[in-house]
Amino acid sequence: QVQLVESGGGLVQAGGSRSLSCAAFGTIWSISNRGWYRQAPGKQRELVATITRGGTTNYADSVKGRFTISRDNAKNTVYLQMNSLKPEDTAVYYCNAVIRDMDYWGKGTLVTVSS
């Protein structure tokens, strides 16, 4: 069984920075894609950023140039560095891992950006 555990959420002022991390625990053969998604109140979950095992990244237009996704394969951990945060970035952030073509999700961590 695989468990994803996010950390790093909290309250931050607009224009500030925050770093999230997500570690994978359990019987892990190999994690292919990793990603971060978010869900704001009253909205659907949306993609924030993804990264392949080889390091190829993809970002939502709304976060390009502000957020950076990275991963440490040896530690089974993915990171999300968020800079120049805006109130509209307020959401629960979920980490995702694809293992043997199956999707796994963390329970989410809340990021609140105050204006």
List per-residue pLDDT tens for the chain, 115 residues long.
Answer: 899 999 999 999 999 999 999 999 987 778 889 999 999 999 999 999 999 999 999 999 999 999 999 999 999 999 999 999 999 999 999 999 998 889 999 999 999 999 9
Per-residue tokens: 30: 């190999």
H/E stretch holding 69: strand 67-72
Decide: 76 and 28 in contact? Cβ < 8 Å: yes
Q: According to DSSP H, which parts of the chain are helical?
A: none
pLDDT at 107: 97
As a whole number of Å, the CA-based R_g of the chain is 13
DSSP 88: G
Helix (H, G, I), strand (E, B) or coil at 19: strand
